Structure 1
Amino acid sequence: MSRRQGKRRDPRGHWILVALAAVLTGGALFLNGYVHNVVGETHAAEADTGDSPDIDRVRAGGPVVNMSGTRPQSLHVARRTVALTFDDGPDPKWTPQVLDVLRKHGATATFFVVGAHVAENPDLTRRIVAQGNEIGDHTYTHADVTTTPGWRTRLELSLTQKALAGTAGIHTRLVRMPYSSSPGAVGDHQFAAMRLLSGEGYLVAFTDLDSKDWSRPGVDRIVKAATPKRGAGAVIMFHDAGGDRSQTVAGLDRLLTALDKDGYTATTLTRAVGLPSAHTAASTSDQVLGKALVAAQRASSAFTGSLSWVLAAAGVLTLIRLALFVGLAWAHARKARRMRRDRMAGRRRGAAPRWEAPPAVTVIVPAYNEEAGIEATIRSLVTTDYPGPLEILVVDDGSTDRTAEIAVSLGLPGVRVIRQPNGGKPSALNTGIAWAAHDILIMVDGDTVFEPSTIRNLVQPLADPAVGAVSGNTKVGNRRGLIGRWQHIEYVIGFNLDRRAFDLLGCMATVPGAIGAFRRSALTSVGGLSLDTLAEDTDLTMAICRAGWKVVYEEHARAWTEAPSSLGQLWRQRYRWCYGTLQAMWKHRGAVLERGSFGRRCLGYLTLFQLVLPLMAPVVDIMAVYSLAVADPLPVVAVWAGFVAAQSLAGWYALRLDNEPVSGLWVLPLQQFVYRQLMYLVVIQSVATAVLGVRLRWHTVRREGTFNPAPVLNDAMSKR
């Protein structure tokens, strides 16, 4: 594809979808955190006191209080009558058992429900009502209404009513404040909250007898605490949620058995005090809104749960990848050292094949607007210590700057400049292959320089007639800035560590365009370079592997390349790389079904670790921020530190293998905050581009001339 082609703009509309997804994700997490009382979390306030005639009137009155008038009015339960009440449900495990016990004894009760639990258990809510029981409001998230502002209290009550409307088609006029007990404990704060609740049309319920089942004191104590004295009526408080309620269920059964013998009636709270039912029919609009609320809450809960699984999967995949590739790199290093020792000792058995005489080599340099670095590239090739015949072809691909003129003006021996109209890098490389006089071909980018020993080391593996291509070791030359250091770490850990593993597994994905050696017969067998993808190096490597050739990695063949120096330039480069890799994966998808393991290993790895894992990465960041905001931050920080430590250990080993100073690892933790996000956003953009069927145009990267003048190269290599 020509660098000047691609008039269609990159797709931008999907970023609106990404932003919308981010908003919906944030909303789902916020809703899930709110309903589970971790966003805007409240706890029981300290006991408060207060003295006023009205407070004294409430304290001396009964457990049901009406404060809609000028003075509080209290109601008591009739004699030999109990109003069994259950707080904090419904719970899918314990509430059905409570209902079974009530039905067994022909009793009914009042359930003060938490709205969020109603939304989670709609069928159970309907069963409560269907069995003749009564429902009261216990707020939506079990919030302490004595400490919440008025708007929050009204919101808690309203949401619960909506949940009841959406599940059971009812509203309720009863409310019990979380963390409340008997009327005698009312203070200033509770009294103020009661005023607000009464203003919303509620009767406020307290209790006469607290079973204290929440503390699980034992069945005997629960029954004793809940048993009325001398035939008195009572409102009795139990809990059907919030923990192990097996003692509650057993105690309820024993209590009802005893009360039956004493002639007690167990009924709802409103019947016990002689009032009409607390239930009223919900309007159609409220039922619709309630169903929407229930659906939203259940969806947010399921979504948050799925994100947790994705987070766990991403963590496991990351650790597996680190452990696997460090282990394979260690095995590769041992194998390489053994082969070097065999060669030095002159052993023939098991040693790598060697050339009888250095073969003639052609180096092809495709160049498009490379005037900033082309001189350093050519000079580094000419000053090689390679002892065999060497030809250097510079293929100018229609440059609009002085690239060709500079190459010609150098007048260096063995260097030829070929000019052609702009046709793209694959076209330039095919032109070089056609003009090449020799059968061993080396391809090098126009912004890259070789060390003197690079060509000699790069050609050596081709002595094995089964080897069709050799990947060299790419180094970042401009690594002084933060962006350059990040890329240096990525090249050593993410690229070269991977290539050691690919070499050992026989599934090399890419011989980089910056440095690669090829056998002409291998290139001919696949028809040369294709213009089908923007990652011509990956496409070519996969084709060679599928043709049955071995592709190996030579760590001592080092090339120094100029990496992008700004985030914008980095984005353009990686966008092209990623999109081109996706094109190559799709083009060679048939390799999965072919004989041999290349397709399954290579494409399986790329799919899992270069596509799926980056797409999971935003979930990791979202859940981390969410956890920091709504939970204890220490576990999040500890997990993050653990992953950075694991990556640092892998990075330390990779740097040691490449004889690089480990001091550069200090930038690794910083990579997690900018660089990492840029990389996974590139994957998202590339996937969207591919799915939308847009053909991406060639993205050129501005060259800075890192290796001009030549002393800069020497300085870069000396500080490895």
Structure 2
Amino acid sequence: MLTLLLICLTGALALHGYTNHLFGHAPDGERQAGGSRSTVPAAIAAGGPVIDAAPGGDRSMRPKASTIALTFDDGPDPEWTPKVLDLLQRRNVKATFFVVGTQVAEHPDLTRRIVAEGHQIGVHTLTHADLGAAPGWRRSLELRQTELILAGATGFRTPLLRPPYSSEASALTDTEWAAIRAARRAGYLTILTTLDSKDWRRPGVDAIVANSTPKGTAGQVLLMHDSGGDRSQTLAALDKLIPAVQARGFRFTTVSDSVALPAPVLRAGTAERIQGLAVIGAIRLSEGVLAVITWLLYAAGALSVLRALTTVVAARRHARERYWIWGDGPPVTDPVTVIVPAYNEAAGIEAAVRSLIASDHPIEVIVVDDGSTDGTADLVEALRLPGVRVIRQPNAGKPAALNTGLLAASHELVVMVDGDTVFEPDAVRWLVQPFADAAVGAVSGNAKVGNRRGLLGRWQHIEYVVGFNLDRRLFDLAECMPTVPGAVGGFRRSALQRIGGLSDVTLAEDTDLTMALCRDGWRVVYEERAVAWTEAPASLGALWRQRYRWCYGTLQAMWKHRGAWLQGGQSGKLGRRGLTYLMLFQVLLPLLAPVVDVFALYGLVFLNPWRVLGVWAGFLALQVAMGLYAFRLDGERPGPLWSLPLQQFVYRQLMYLVVIQSVFTALAGNRLGWQRMERYGSLTTPPGAADDLVGAQR
């Protein structure tokens, strides 16, 4: 479905770009013909303005004496075409209108009026394209689509063609002659001019009348315009010209009547009418799509800037105010129970448990083996580490394993940690200090990516530091923390017991648990000094599965706790602040991301590419600035930020596709199964990079 939507969106933008940004806006007479004329037959160059370049022999025709074929180009126009038609009706004059296909699609009612009032219709291409300079495929497209649009709008088709930027037969070049011959093979007669009013220059009414007045009695094809700007001079000149020339014995008529052609305008078949209506509908739809996309782009840009400003301002204030909040009283020295749920964690469980035992805070460690088949429990027991005990249970899922650990916990303060996470020696101590405040029910630690080598690792490292941690600082200040990560989180056991422990109704048990605590009135905070190192997915497939589960589970938790929007107190803060933030920046903004990317391609092809690249560079600079600030706050070296531009072309697309698929899965009512991440055992000891951070913060 997503692929289909993107194809439709791309098609709509391509159609709009072609019909609007490849449109030839220059007036017909503004371009001066140049180039060789060696292939143009002499009889054609010296002949009349109506050209039939038939395979059986080229010929041209001139209007009958004292006859003027009055023609109008570039319409229909919603302002000037009706005024021209009113004047012609008042003067009882018939004319030929060479219409532009996109204009007909936009104003089909005016085209129908032209036909209904007895005037003749001719083709002036789809986008006012220079057929002489256009490749063959575009010539065919310009003519065929205009013919279909005319069939859909009026029910008629016409073989009359006036190529844009053409003038008299004597001015034909080799490329223009080739285009005329190609058009004849498609069934078109070419109509050039003998008199050019030059009304497109707006030289004044008298000048237009002078340019349009025949010098003798020879028949003429007169060029005027009913579109392309202010045509008030054209109307005034026409009102003076018609009676003046008629007084000299001239008759105004259509092109076909002027050269005694049989009626060229024929009824279109049913199939052509249906196709024409489809083309008209597609062009109008593309206009609507672009209008919607424009507003969505404004929304996406505003949301991106708003998020950047909000998170940076909040992070700055958080960095200034955090430590004194619970640092005035005595430190928390109560012992802690650390619960490690483990399912087939043999690759990294030893490093995780050993890092916990090395903690400088009194702890007990409970490893709950959730039916592992790789010997995880045996491995932990074989270590014979003091203060570590193993509980075995049949496989029931991570929430059940954590609930088992809660029942066996000896202490009020509990830390939950994933089996692939390695703790800094002081992480537990820092994690429990906020519990000096009796209103705090849970604490989020600072999870960092340990295996950050390679592009994928660097990109996830950037996301953790710039995305997750900046958001957590904002949530902390706004008292609406939606998630305590499963990798490193502290809790009051009594608070967990009061809400019934962990639930398995969502795939994001940590988010569901955190939201439940907030709704129960507890404060949830962020302690960035509690550093733990987690193992990130090492392949795109593994990353997709992990983030798909996270995103889908978050959507489930948001829906489950949607009632918080209408509640007061701590629950209301979660709803109106936290859930609104998640909906805007983690759901709606990623949903708009494909639109931004598709429009960027549209801009590179049809708009000013330097302007598009400038906007992209501006947003990239904003992200780099955010990254530098976030890395400085987290005590990280900024080196990995060099990969940020590359992240925009792969990683960002993966992340928004995850959100889109999660939303579609949720809307379809499907239930996603648990998808366990592959463990690599890449973390053995706490990376030394944390030492600088801890020392600086102390």
TM-score range, shorter chain: over 0.9
Cα distance, 1:487–1:198 mapped onto 2, change above 3 Å: closer
User: Structure 1 residue 666 and structure 2 residue 642: aligned?
Assistant: yes
Distance (Å, rounded) in 1 between the aligned partners of 2:668 and 2:56: 68
Residue of 333, 352, 373 corresponding to 1:377: 352
Distance (Å, rounded) in 2 between the aligned partners of 1:322 and 1:151: 46
Per the alignment, residue 4 of structure 1 pairs with none
**How far did 1:645 drift?**
0.4
Per the alignment, residue 400 of structure 2 pairs with 427
Distance (Å, rounded) in 2 between the aligned partners of 1:297 and 1:650: 41
**How far did 1:60 drift?**
2.5
Residue of 115, 118, 135 corresponding to 2:104: 118
Distance (Å, rounded) in 1 between the aligned partners of 2:38 and 2:536: 76
Per the alignment, residue 701 of structure 1 pairs with 677
Cα distance, 1:122–1:450 mapped onto 2, change above 3 Å: same
- Contact map agreement 1:364 1:429 (CA 8 A) in 2: yes
Residue of 462, 468, 479 corresponding to 2:452: 479
Residue of 548, 565, 572 corresponding to 2:521: 548
Residue of 134, 154, 160 corresponding to 2:146: 160
Residue of 252, 264, 267 corresponding to 1:281: 267
Q: Aligned AA for 2:619? A: F
Per the alignment, residue 340 of structure 2 pairs with 365
Cα distance, 1:103–1:564 mapped onto 2, change above 3 Å: same
Distance (Å, rounded) in 1 between the aligned partners of 2:451 and 2:573: 37
Per the alignment, residue 57 of structure 1 pairs with 43
Tell me the SS of whatever aligns to 2:34: coil
Cα distance, 1:528–1:255 mapped onto 2, change above 3 Å: farther
Distance (Å, rounded) in 1 between the aligned partners of 2:25 and 2:636: 50
Matching of residues 396-475 of structure 1 within 5 Å: 396-475=369-448
Per the alignment, residue 129 of structure 2 pairs with 143
Q: Deviations over 1:649-677 (max 9, x none)?
A: 01111111111111221011111111111
Distance (Å, rounded) in 2 between the aligned partners of 1:548 and 1:275: 88
User: Structure 1 residue 36 and structure 2 residue 7: aligned?
Assistant: no
Tell me the SS of whatever aligns to 1:673: coil
Cα distance, 1:64–1:451 mapped onto 2, change above 3 Å: same
Tell me the SS of whatever aligns to 1:680: helix
User: Structure 1 residue 612 and structure 2 residue 588: aligned?
Assistant: yes
Distance (Å, rounded) in 2 between the aligned partners of 1:204 and 1:417: 91
Per the alignment, residue 193 of structure 2 pairs with 207
Distance (Å, rounded) in 1 between the aligned partners of 2:447 and 2:23: 48
Distance (Å, rounded) in 1 between the aligned partners of 2:121 and 2:626: 59
Residue of 598, 610, 614 corresponding to 2:574: 598
Matching of residues 289-300 of structure 1 within 5 Å: 289-300=275-286
Per the alignment, residue 696 of structure 2 pairs with none
Per the alignment, residue 224 of structure 2 pairs with 238
Per the alignment, residue 580 of structure 1 pairs with 553
Tell me the SS of whatever aligns to 1:111: strand
Q: Deviations over 1:263-288 (max 9, x none)?
A: 65433222333434431111222222
Q: Deviations over 1:143-196 (max 9, x none)?
A: 322234555434432222211111101111311111100122123333333333
Q: Aligned AA for 1:495? A: F
- Contact map agreement 2:22 2:127 (CA 8 A) in 1: no
Cα distance, 1:586–1:268 mapped onto 2, change above 3 Å: same
Per the alignment, residue 685 of structure 1 pairs with 661
- Contact map agreement 1:33 1:39 (CA 8 A) in 2: no
Cα distance, 1:278–1:433 mapped onto 2, change above 3 Å: same
Distance (Å, rounded) in 1 between the aligned partners of 2:539 and 2:32: 54
Distance (Å, rounded) in 1 between the aligned partners of 2:600 and 2:460: 25
Cα distance, 1:523–1:47 mapped onto 2, change above 3 Å: same
User: Structure 1 residue 507 and structure 2 residue 480: aligned?
Assistant: yes
Per the alignment, residue 48 of structure 1 pairs with 35
Tell me the SS of whatever aligns to 1:36: helix
- Contact map agreement 1:395 1:417 (CA 8 A) in 2: yes
- Contact map agreement 1:81 1:234 (CA 8 A) in 2: yes
Residue of 600, 609, 613 corresponding to 1:624: 600
Distance (Å, rounded) in 2 between the aligned partners of 1:333 and 1:219: 73
User: Structure 1 residue 18 and structure 2 residue 11: aligned?
Assistant: no
Q: Aligned AA for 1:364? A: I
Residue of 512, 518, 534 corresponding to 1:539: 512
Matching of residues 234-383 of structure 1 within 5 Å: 234-256=220-242, 258-259=244-245, 264-336=250-322, 339=324, 354-355=329-330, 358-383=333-358
Q: Aligned AA for 1:368? A: Y
**How far did 1:304 drift?**
3.5
Tell me the SS of whatever aligns to 1:62: coil
**How far did 1:627 drift?**
2.6
Unaligned residue ranges in structure 2 (runs of 5+):
694-698
Unaligned residue ranges in structure 1 (runs of 5+):
1-16, 341-350
- Contact map agreement 1:30 1:39 (CA 8 A) in 2: no
**How far did 1:51 drift?**
4.7
Cα distance, 1:198–1:668 mapped onto 2, change above 3 Å: closer
**How far did 1:259 drift?**
4.3
TM value normalised by structure 1: 0.90
Distance (Å, rounded) in 1 between the aligned partners of 2:234 and 2:550: 63
- Contact map agreement 2:24 2:128 (CA 8 A) in 1: no
Distance (Å, rounded) in 2 between the aligned partners of 1:703 and 1:102: 82
Q: Deviations over 1:601-658 (max 9, x none)?
A: 1111111111111111111222222332344422221111111100000111111111
Distance (Å, rounded) in 1 between the aligned partners of 2:490 and 2:646: 35
- Contact map agreement 1:477 1:716 (CA 8 A) in 2: no
Q: Aligned AA for 1:137? A: V
Q: Aligned AA for 2:37? A: G
Say which is worse superposed, 514-523 or 689-698, in terms of deviation: 689-698
Distance (Å, rounded) in 1 between the aligned partners of 2:524 and 2:546: 25
- Contact map agreement 2:33 2:173 (CA 8 A) in 1: no
**How far did 1:554 drift?**
1.0
- Contact map agreement 1:39 1:630 (CA 8 A) in 2: no
Distance (Å, rounded) in 2 between the aligned partners of 1:29 and 1:425: 46
Cα distance, 1:586–1:138 mapped onto 2, change above 3 Å: same
- Contact map agreement 2:25 2:128 (CA 8 A) in 1: no
Q: Aligned AA for 1:306? A: V
Q: Aligned AA for 2:547? A: R
Q: Aligned AA for 1:404? A: A
**How far did 1:217 drift?**
3.6
- Contact map agreement 1:55 1:187 (CA 8 A) in 2: no
Distance (Å, rounded) in 2 between the aligned partners of 1:510 and 1:70: 80
**How far did 1:411 drift?**
2.0
**How far did 1:256 drift?**
4.0
Distance (Å, rounded) in 2 between the aligned partners of 1:219 and 1:321: 58
Q: Aligned AA for 1:304? A: L
- Contact map agreement 2:369 2:390 (CA 8 A) in 1: yes
TM value normalised by structure 2: 0.92
Distance (Å, rounded) in 1 between the aligned partners of 2:136 and 2:515: 66
Distance (Å, rounded) in 2 between the aligned partners of 1:257 and 1:464: 95
Per the alignment, residue 9 of structure 1 pairs with none
- Contact map agreement 1:38 1:631 (CA 8 A) in 2: no
Residue of 458, 462, 465 corresponding to 1:489: 462
Per the alignment, residue 78 of structure 2 pairs with 92
Aligned residues: 687
Distance (Å, rounded) in 1 between the aligned partners of 2:689 and 2:376: 23
